[in-house]
Amino acid sequence: MAKAVAVLVALLLVAAASAGGAAAQQCDAAGLAVCAPAIVGGAPPTGACCSSLRAQQGCFCQYARNPAYSRYVNSPAARGALTACGIAIPRC
């Protein structure tokens, strides 16, 4: 019986770790490529850009901590795109 409980606990831990990984996979910076003209060039964001920003709103702080993305996420153009899309600028 104890062996069965240990196996069940191990399976639950693996499932919980997998669920956490699935949530992290939703943060896909490539999905924001549609926003490149707004974030990099300061162009007005398109509807598709605003939709992508809203979909990944929970990822902004993760992107801000990533050295590969932080200069874009923290740029004045990115803040302008968020504001234009009606999205609150995150405080990380």
d(CA 86, CA 59) in angstroms, rounded, equals 17
d(CA 47, CA 85) in angstroms, rounded, equals 8
Instruction: State yes or no: pLDDT of 22 exceeds 50.
Output: no
pLDDT tier at 85, thresholds 50, 70, 90: very high
Closest CA to 48 of 37, 62, 59: 37
Quote the pLDDT of residue 75: 94
Quote the pLDDT of residue 20: 40
Structural contact between residues 41 and 77, judged by C-beta atoms closer than 8 angstroms? yes
pTM over 0.75: no
Instruction: State yes or no: pLDDT of 31 exceeds 80.
Output: yes
Quote the pLDDT of residue 15: 28
Q: Which fold has domain 28-84?
A: Hydrophobic Seed Protein (1.10.110)
Q: What percent of the chain has pLDDT over 90?
A: 68
